[in-house]
Amino acid sequence: MTDKLEEIVDEFRDADKEEKTELLLDFARKLPPLPERLQALTDDAHRIHECQSPAFVFVELEGDAVSIHGYVPVEAPTARAFVSLLIEGLSGARIDQVLAIKNDLTERLGLRDVVGMLRMNGINAILNRLRSEVVKAVAARPA
């Protein structure tokens, strides 16, 4: 895990339910716009179907550093916040750091306190897709 993601986890862990909700809303507001070159890929083929809301995560590699982009509409603040959190916490992370993120990330963030089970399933799917996209990007690199 990156230092930045660990800081975010600590911030959530120390927060009460109301503060966690505010932190999520802050992250939802901070989701960077999707680069124009990726906007055409917000189609059914690239959607994270396990998420109730339309959610998309894209990965680009710059050497061993991972660049993450995502799109979730403003009408889906929980999924939007989680994508934004991943982008902020893993910006510039090494491939191995992203792949090492454990499935307990949402539990460590204490998100079960503020989101329902269906949303937990959706945000866990976002994390799984992120790791899957990193694996695909590594496999697609020229030999």
Q: Which CATH class is domain 3-140?
A: alpha beta
Q: Find the mean pLDDT for residues 39-68.
A: 95
The verdict on pTM exceeding 0.85 is: yes
Strand partners, 69: 58
77 pLDDT higher than 80: yes
Q: What is the DSSP string of 57-114?
A: EEEEEETTEEEEEEE--TT-HHHHHHHHHHHHHHTT-BHHHHHT--TTHHHHHTGGGT
Instruction: Encode pLDDT of 7-27 as tens digits.
Output: 999 999 999 999 999 999 999
pLDDT of residue 34: 97
pLDDT score recorded for residue 1: 82
Chain-centre distance for alpha carbon 66: 13
Cβ proximity of 15 and 24 under 8 Å: no
Q: pLDDT tens digits, residue range 84-137?
A: 999 999 989 999 999 999 999 999 999 988 988 878 899 999 999 999 999 999
Structure tokens at 2: 């990156």
Average pLDDT score over residue span 44-56? 94
Task: Write the CB contacts of 83 (distance below 8 Å, at least 6 apart in sequence).
Answer: 31, 55, 57, 70, 71, 72, 126
Domain map of the chain by residue range? 3-140
Average pLDDT over residues 34-49: 96
